Structure 1
Amino acid sequence: MIVSALLTSVGINTALCVLFFTLYSILRKQPSNYKVYIPRLLAEGASRTTPFNLKLLIPSPDWVAKAWSLTEEQLFSSSGLDALVFMRLITFSLKIFAFAGVIGIFVLLPVNCWGNQLQDIDILDFPGNSLDVFTISNVNSGSNWLWVHFFAVYAVSAFTCFQLHHEYKYIASKRISYFYSSKPQPHQFTVLVHSIPTSLSCSISDSVERFFKELYPSTYLSHVVIRRTNKIQALMSKSKNLYKRIAQLRANRTQQKYKHGGGVLGLFESKDSLIDHYGKKLEDIEEDVRLKQAEASLIAEEARAAFVFFKSRYAAATAFHLQPSVNPTQWITEPAPQPHDVYWPFFSESFMKQWISKLVVIVVCILFTILFLIPVVIVQGLTNLKQLEVLFPFLKSILAVKFVTQVITGYLPSLILQMSLKLVPPVMGFLSSIQGYISHSDIEMSASKKVQWFTVWNVFFATVFSGSVFHQVYIILDLKEITGQLAVAVPAQDGQAFHRNYFR
């Protein structure tokens, strides 16, 4: 990449950052967006309405200073533990970036600039020079200055590890203190058991009660067997949608009329009557859910899973960590998720089906990662204009324009790569949802791990490999050099075949 392309990319990204900061500073002050930006304050009873003022339409950067002026205690009390961890993550990243920047600018850059390539630089045309003169490639071969790079890598790695250890201890202590200060939750006394073996002589409920009473006679409390109730889940989903609509109607005090089939002349209905209409629907759904639950307790099919309740959190943790059966595919225990976090589709699946689904998802993730090399190769190719001209000759006239060249080599590759990476989290989330997890949090954690490994492979490894592959394709398509390449490659392959056939 040349210097002018880098400066063009920096300029475009800086302009976008200023634009986004400006839009945020305006949108956050609009009363209609309070439910997005300050939901916690609204839940605590803050005012939803604000009189119109011109200051609402003028961007102001004072929120940045206020955000950084908060102490950790104030941030924890106002926004919770998640916000505190997020801010610690930002400060951790800034520390690493600052330390690595100081090492790079004041140590590595002077070492790299002492190489021989600087003699060929045209100072008058500095923006047209390549950035390679500022990298390790400018250090003379065999020079002892290479040790400076090694020590710099060790220093940055050691500083990063130290900061990671410090942040891990701090966040872990905060989580432990938050756990001890919070009230006990029902799911902390509960263990989920699935892959329960079936028997013709007794039901699944009787098997669970007999099994856990024998293992934990003093701490076992009760259990609930999970039943297949798809109709109840459909009703619950419908009720959630109606509840969201009612919440939106109550939150929006400015809109007075809504389209509905039963209002004045069958076209409009007032907001209050529409809320009453949805409220009656919720009451009907609630009654249907009670009837379906009563039917399910009597005739619904039992799944091979159950929630087992204990008298103490220690007993539940002990039941989870100790293997309850000699057969590892039966009586599988895991911590019970919170009620709102339960993901029901895989509760009734056997151990083998869950294991097969996980194996299939792993294979699909690997194939998806390999196929994603296509946009990575394209992005890598955009940084080399000579290779683009060989592969796509019709672009020569366009690439002759200097500004177009700077945009293509400096900004377009990162834009294409980032737009392509936007597809990764939804795909990984879908794959994790069919992997056999029984809670939304486990699905999100699994998807996050997949995205992390995907990013590490494609950003740190695939980009380098794709650059080498693209360079080899460029050599193969160069007809002037293909004869020489064949003259070197064919005898080498013949020699390897002779060695395999006669000297193995």
Structure 2
Amino acid sequence: MNPESLIASAGLNMGLALIVLSLFSVLKKQPSNAPVYYPRRLAAGEDIPFDRGFSINRLRPSVSWIPRSFRISEDEILRRCGLDALVVIRLFKFGIKIFTVCSVMGLLILAPVNYTGKKDSTNDVSHSMDSFSVSNVRSGSSRLWVHFACLFFVSAYVLYLLHKEYKGILDKRIQHIYNLRNQPNQFTVLVRGIPLCIEHGAYGCSVDHFFSKHHPDIYHTYQMVYDGKSIEKLLSSLQNQASSVEKKLEKLQQRVDKGQSIVSVFCSISQSNTDDILDQENKLEQLYQKIRLGQSEYFHKQKELPSAFVSFKLRQGMALVSQTQQHVHPLMWITEATPEPRDILWSNLAISYNRLVICKVGVSIAATLLTIFFALPVTAVQGIVQLEKLKKWFPPARAVQLIPGLGSIVTGYLPSVILNGFIYVVPYAMLSMASIEGFVSRSKMEMKACSMVFYFLVGNVFFLSLLSGSLLDQIGETFTHPKDFLGHLASAVSAQSDFFISYILTDGLSGFSLEILQLGFISWHFLRSHSFGRSSKEKPYLYGFPYYRVIPTISLAILIGMIYAVVAPMLLPFLIPYFFLGYVVYINQMQDVYEIIYETHGQYWPHIHQYIFMAVILMQITMIGLFGLKSKPEASILTIVLLILSLLFNEYCKVRFRPPFYHFSIQQAKEIDDLDELEGQLEAHRETAVNAYRPHWMSPVNISESSSTEPLLSSC
């Protein structure tokens, strides 16, 4: 990629970002767009202060939403959105801290050293950033010790920040659990692999007998899990019909309300509408009666599954049972900490524990096939980047040069756009695969999808882009000489810096801008409002926060920046606006748009720690190969020592910080129990846990806030 292509990519991305953000700031001010840009606040019943009536201010772009994002404190995010959301925000701050310091180091130290490092002018610079990268330094030069010193500094700084973040988030997790003492999962354990009681032919009596015998002092009660597929389908169908009838009732009521303000000539029309309302109310009441009848019939013939929610008298008992093996047979009486009631995937509780292994194998095969398929577009993208090489293999590509400036746009902007377009569908595909694996909670499913997406991006977007770009320059070198892999990797990393700058610009400026615009929702909202008629009470477009989509993408940007921190420091300044824009965008999305549908108290952070630590390791491995290419074996050996020290640091973090993220300690459970008992709330919190884990299809039907003997909507 030449400098003109890089400038074209930067210009197009910045122009698109300015247009999209200006459009967003205007659309956000329109009251009619509140279901798109304020769905969370609408669902919470908050009042949104719009300028009523026509005002020129409503049509003027503004940046007032940006300072608002920086005024929101971490405590407010924790209170309103939870610790998981705060972890995402801390990830953006982590990126800002790293690359602000690394950019200063790179621009003031590494860039001048690299630029003045080669005195042999016989080799022409073939890549726009080569003169500022380590590839411009002569082999065996003593300047390479500057790069080793910077590598040591960056590694130490990042590991220090990782340690600080791990400890800080762990402290917040412990305090957050103290603050949420009314959570039912603090008293409840999910038990699977329950044997059938031979005497009574049921699982329930086995549960009661087992825990009464082995945990008599702490066992309280149990709630069996039932197969609800049939009743769930029935209720879903009836509730959809009821929803359709309610919409008809709402439209009829609007007609009647309008008719009451018209002269008496139209009284007959109004009376006709009133009769229609009564007919629809009768239909709605009949549907709700069918729902109640279906629930009643199911309750008497419900089928037990070999799973149960077992409640204990104290949190200490829950912590003890959830972390110990209950039976000599490891596949019987399997206990685990229970997720929040709103986090549970009830349909997956019906999956046999023995079938989960088969599901995991199937997901692994599907992910592998997707990875192989994705190699085609990545290789094609690199073909566009290497246009000069592509023209030798595909002569019609020379036609691009006939239009002035088109070649720069094609090689600079188009590849990153195509790649980001393909990447956009990957998180949703991985989430669908993770759903097949049979996780009992949405949070565990999304954490699995998060890891699958990240490693997919590392393997396909990063490594495959490097190798495919390198292979177009030197066909077959990587595979014919596998012993030289580190050397090929280091050489490819240096050569592909321009492409990853374009990728960061497109993913950051264009990607974050389109995220906050909500292009799909605002387009559908416009079509529905103007083509299909507008409802007086439009439901907000409310969806859960997409951790599985946001965290891997940001982690990949950190990985790219880390690997290029010493190799090509000119990439680093582009990452600072990337993380700043992402920070303000997702603060806005958390406050106004996305709903927080579950809370794991920060369990995403151990995954994020591993992603960032992987970036540190890849940075060091790349530099080992690069020092070898530059005939500096002493630096390679010292980097290997640094690599070993980094691995030891990670093992320390696993032992010191990781366990409290996945286990409820006996000490903390006892302290919270004592505090509850002192305040007289222990009994209330325990009884809340008993009633919390009941399937949603057995919940009472809400008939529009009315009793069955009253009309569902008032008529005139």
- TM score, norm. by length of structure 1: 0.81
**1:18 corresponds to which letter in structure 2?**
L
1:330-409 matches, cutoff 5 A: 330-409=332-411
The aligned counterpart of 1:448 is 450
Asked if 1:164 corresponds to 2:165, the answer is: no
Percent same amino acid at aligned positions?
36
Asked if the contact 2:190/2:337 (under 8 Å) is kept, the reply is yes
Structure 1 or 2, whichever has the larger Rg, is 1
Confirm or deny that 1:218 pairs with 2:220: no
Could you tell me whether the CA contact under 8 Å between 2:245 and 2:283 is conserved in 1? no
Cα distance change of structure 1 residues 422 and 31 upon mapping to structure 2, 3 Å threshold: same
SS in 2 for 1:326: coil
- Return the offset for 1:321: 0.6
Q: Deviations over 1:324-377 (max 9, x none)?
A: 122222222222232222212322222221111111111221222222111111
3-state SS of paired residue (2:346): coil
Q: Report matched runs for 1:134-149 at 5 Å.
A: 134-149=132-147
CA apart distance, 1:238:
4.9
Structure 1, 44-53 or 416-425: larger mean CA deviation: 44-53
Q: CA deviation at 1:395?
A: 1.3
| C-alpha displacement of 1:294 | 3.3
Whole-angstrom distance in 2 between the partners of 1:279 and 1:168: 59
Distance of aligned partners of 1:25 and 1:274 in 2 relative to their CA distance in 1, 3 Å threshold: farther
Greater shift in the superposed pair: 6-15 or 375-384: 375-384
Which amino acid in the other structure matches residue 164 of structure 1?
Answer: L
- How far is 1:150 from its partner? 2.4
After TM superposition, the structure 1 = structure 2 runs for residues 392-471 of structure 1, keeping only pairs within 5 Å, are: 392-471=394-473
1:3 aligns with 2:3: yes
Once structures 1 and 2 are overlaid, which stretch shifts more, 352-361 or 287-296? 287-296
How many angstroms does 1:414 deviate by?
Answer: 1.0
How far apart are residue 437 of structure 1 and its match?
Answer: 0.7
CA positional deviation for 1:98: 1.1
User: Which residue identity does 2:164 align to in structure 1?
Assistant: H
Check whether the contact 1:40–1:79 (CA below 8 A) recurs between aligned residues.
no
- Give the Å deviation of 1:121: 9.6
How far apart are the structure 1 equivalents of 2:96 and 2:279?
52
Deviation sequence 1:41-65 (CA, Å, 0-9, x none) = 4425425765122212211112212
Shift of residue 2, structure 1, vs aligned partner: 1.2
In the alignment, does 2:134 pair up with 1:155? no
What do the CA deviations read for 1:427-467 (whole angstroms, capped 9, x no partner)?
A: 10100000011121221111111111111222332222222
Per the alignment, residue 184 of structure 1 pairs with 182
Answer yes or no: is 1:233 the counterpart of 2:232. yes
Equivalent residue of 1:330, what SS?
coil
**How far apart are the structure 2 equivalents of 1:327 and 1:221?**
24
1:140-187 Cα offsets, whole Å, 9 max, x none, are 111121222222222222222222222232233223222211241223
Show the counterpart of 2:131.
Answer: 133
Q: Does 2:112 align with 1:110?
A: yes
Residue range with higher mean Cα deviation, 73-82 or 304-313: 73-82
Match of residue 294, structure 1, among 284, 293, 296: 296
Cα pair distance change 1:8/1:156, threshold 3 Å: same
Using the size of structure 2 for normalisation, the TM-score is 0.58
Which of the residues 168, 173, 176 maps onto 1:175? 173
Cα contact 2:343–2:441 (8 A) shared by 1 = yes
Query: 1:445-495 deviations in whole A, cap 9, x for unaligned?
Result: 1111111111122233222222233345499xxxxxxxxxxxxxxxxxxxx
Choose 286-295 or 418-427, whichever is displaced more: 286-295
Is the contact made by 2:190 and 2:310 (CA closer than 8 Å) also made in structure 1? yes
The structure, 1 or 2, with the larger RCO (C-alpha pairs under 8 Å, 6+ apart) is 2
The whole-number CA distance in structure 2 between the counterparts of 1:168 and 1:275 is 61
Q: Could you report, residue by residue, the CA deviation over 1:256-277 in whole angstroms, capped at 9, with x for unpaired residues?
A: 679xxxxx999xx989x88995
Q: Return 5+ residue gaps in structure 2 as ranges.
A: 257-266, 478-716
Greater mean alpha carbon deviation, residues 42-51 or residues 426-435 = 42-51
Structure 1 residues 295 and 130, CA gap change in structure 2 (3 angstroms): same
Per-residue CA distance 1:191-210 (angstroms, 9 max, x = gap): 11122223533321111111
Alignment check: 8 A CA contact 1:121 1:129 kept: no
Report the aligned-residue RMSD: 3.6
| Secondary structure in 2 matching 1:34 | helix
Q: Is the 8 A contact 2:30 2:50 kept in 1?
A: no
Question: Which residue number corresponds to residue 103 of structure 2?
Answer: 101
Note the C-alpha offset of 1:296: 3.0
The answer for the alignment partner of 1:46 in structure 2 is 47
User: Superposition pairs for residues 247-258 of structure 1, below 5 Å?
Assistant: none
Call closer, same or farther: CA 1:115–1:47 in 2, change over 3 Å: closer
CA distance in 2, matches of 1:256, 1:98: 57
Alignment check: 8 A CA contact 1:325 1:331 kept: yes
Contact 1:34 1:48 in 2 (8 A): no
What is the letter of the counterpart of residue 355 of structure 2? K
Structure-1 separation of matches of 2:31 and 2:39: 12
Separation in structure 2 between the aligned mates of residue 10 and residue 244 of structure 1, nearest angstrom: 49
The whole-number CA distance in structure 2 between the counterparts of 1:279 and 1:442 is: 43
Q: Distance in 1 between matches of 2:192 and 2:293?
A: 27
Q: Bigger shift: 85-94 or 311-320?
A: 85-94
Give the whole-Å Cα distance in 2 for the aligned partners of 1:461 and 1:274.
63
Q: Secondary structure at the match of 2:182?
A: coil
The question of whether the paired residues in 1 share the 8 Å contact of 2:203 and 2:306 is answered with: yes
Residue 192 (structure 2) pairs with residue 194 (structure 1): yes
Q: Does 1:207 align with 2:230?
A: no
Counterpart contact for 2:384–2:415, Cα < 8 Å: yes
How many Å separate the matches in 1 of 2:279 and 2:441? 34
Kindly state the Cα deviation for residue 244 of structure 1 after the two structures are TM-superposed.
8.0
CA distance in 1, matches of 2:466, 2:387: 17
Given the superposition, is the C-alpha separation of residues 68 and 179 from structure 1 closer, same or farther in structure 2, using an over 3 Å criterion? same
In terms of mean alpha carbon deviation, does 75-84 or 2-11 score higher? 75-84
Residues 316, 9 of structure 1: CA spacing in aligned structure 2 closer, same or farther, 3 A cutoff? same
- Residue 5 of structure 2 contacts residue 412 of structure 2 at CA under 8 Å; is this kept in 1? yes
Q: Counterpart amino acid of 2:159?
A: C
SS of the equivalent of 1:304 reads strand
Judged with a 3 Å threshold, the aligned counterparts in structure 2 of structure 1 residues 390 and 245 are, in CA distance, closer, same or farther, namely: farther
Q: Which runs of 5+ in 1 are unaligned?
A: 259-263, 476-504
Residues 84 and 246 of structure 1: CA distance in aligned 2, closer, same or farther (over 3 Å): farther
Aligned-partner Cα distance in 2 for 1:286–1:342? 26
Decide whether aligned partners of structure 1 residues 404 and 461 sit closer, same or farther in structure 2, where only a CA change above 3 A counts: same
